[in-house]
Structure 1
Amino acid sequence: MTNQDIYNNIINFLINRNWKKEEVKTKYDVFIPPFELNFNSTYKLYIYNKYDRNDFEEGIIKNLNILSQIYEEYIDDLASIIIEDKQILSLHIENDYIKNAHPSMSFFPNLILKSKELLQEVANFSIIKQPHFFENTEEAERYLNLCNFFKNDKGSLITKIQLPNNEEIKEGNLFEIGITGSQINKNLIEITSFINKDIIGNDNFKPEDDFLILNKKLLSVNVTNKLKELYTSIDLADIDITLKSTEKNIKTSVKDLNNEKIDNIKNFSRVVREKMKEISENDVYGKIIQLSSRDVDGEKNTIKVEGLIKNIKSTIVVQLSSDDYKLATDAHKANQSVLINGILEKEKSQYKVIELKKFEPFSK
């Protein structure tokens, strides 16, 4: 970062918050505050503009101290944004029980872990641009490596993550524009806002195709699932998620979470996958290639079947009851094909039957 970059950042910070540059003096740009701050009409803010001088950073620090008081922001956050050219993600948990009883030893490590997973999936989504995917990208790893996770202040339920801003995460080429950290951060807050506003509170929500098409740029099964895991990791506490930058802060909140609202997120992810034909009802004929059971008289017996799905040879994992597992064992010994009818869910390298409707040995 050059001093001129720092100067540009603080000017953009003010302009994006409706400050008006009244005049330019020899050493200072003079700003008048926005109406919404209700300051005295004579108030003026002087921004040191001699970025080629050795005392420039000292002058900017003085400005940051003033802005810290005006906007009730930590000066370290403002320094990250303006001097280091980063963005800040703030996770502010509101939960009286956790505050009074003190969080468990695993509370914040779990929060950091789930935050990292969420950030990585947002980066993957920004690169792959598909509603669902199974691979991690090198670019997502790069983005995550550029994130800094700050330790919570003692007694604080605010977690802060320093995010890359103008760093190029995916290099551009003749056919594609590069992707910067700020674009990924924007996707994060927009998808989170979408889930918090339009999905969580809608019980038994079954979105129509028009709704999904309208919000196509916000549809990510991976990000939605990681957001759900983040919320469950903090025991369904109220949380404010804020993206801070030279632009105006963007905040999204979720309150009064419960298991029903978490189910709404699950159901929405399932609907998207159904629309992608990743969850569908199928008849599959095939040969058993693996049997697995710790107790054949129990209800947790698993087989793998190799069969055709959409004319592609695929592996299907099925959990069977004791009676069906015994049928499967006999069919496997006899090298006999089996019929599976049920709701199949596509995974990375196989399909899983999530609702079995029919299983039987099959003879042509």
Structure 2
Amino acid sequence: METKTKRILILGGGFGGLVTAEKLAESIGSDHEITLVSPNRKFTFYPALVRLAFGKLKEEDVTFDLAEKLSDIGVKFVEGEVLHLKPEIHRVQVAGKEFNGEISYDHLVIAMGRRLATEKIYGFFDHANHLLGVKAAQKFAKAVDEFKSGNIVVGLSPDAFLPVPVCETAFALADRLLADPAENDVKISVVFPKTVKDAFGGANIHETLEEAFSKHNIELIEDFPITKILKNKVFTSDEKEIPYDLLMLIPPFRGQARLMENRITDDLNFVEVDRYLRVEGMKNAYAVGDIVAYPGPKLAHIAVAQANVAAENIISELQGDEPKEVYYHEIAAIIDQGGSDSIYLNYGFWDDSVYRLKTGSMWGMVKRIHDKLWRNRHGKT
């Protein structure tokens, strides 16, 4: 019996969207139609942006042409913004340069990522640097180059679920500016809105990280939720303050507000899913990556793991079976200090018996090699 061609529509071209497309194309691409919609033609490898900011990599090392990559594997690419999901008629409204209209689907994957909610902190746009994007990382690089002396604050905003680049940025600054602290009028402070343990989703990394910061003359400040930024000072809601001359702050994260109308999101507009990553309250739909309403950091490897689970379950459905793959939520992260204080962390959010914490120079090397291999494997073929 001939199988009817199904249309799989993927919304988002980050780690989750790309890996979902790759896995589906490899398994069922010749039998079904796969389309990916993204507002960006370029794929950005976010874990390497700290190295870009500090001159270790070039822009071409952290980006590649997403449209060309998808074309090579038989996936249609549409450059555009998602305006509305219309699940009752299995369509998505998209607005783009070359396409404006609705795209029909049989199976949907929401991989639209997080939004940087800089408006949640007064003065962020005017005074803060971040590095979640190529241009942002390059802007921060220029600010570092122009910095001469004074106080540097590197921090995590409330609801910013990405602690690794905060730590790596602090270490990179220390390596550049504090090689001989006695000869430098520089102070580096790392700020977390709650505890380090909270920032890493409950993992017991505080002692190891605090020791590493101390060895590199970095001050650790916990329980300092920044709500306001003025020129040369950051503030909490109760008016505690820290002076700065250079500021790098990961902004608050939010999901996509346009999904609120579909009643599938939590209070921060992240999409709620079941253990198979099916969207709660929406038929034939999965969600993967930063858009998913799971606790803890939002990291690339989590998006990749979710993409593999969602793709496997869609394949099962296309074969007439029920979803079988269950997602297990864990963190596997490396903080690359650049030397012997690099940290590897593996922690199970739903099973705290899964816990590995190791340090050593090899972990930074492992991360850099892994990142390069990943970019080579998943970039344009």
Whichever structure has more helix as a proportion of its residues is: 1
What TM-score do you get using the length of structure 2 for normalisation?
0.19
**Larger Rg belongs to:** 1
The one of the two structures with greater contact order (alpha-carbon pairs below 8 A, sep at least 6) is: 2
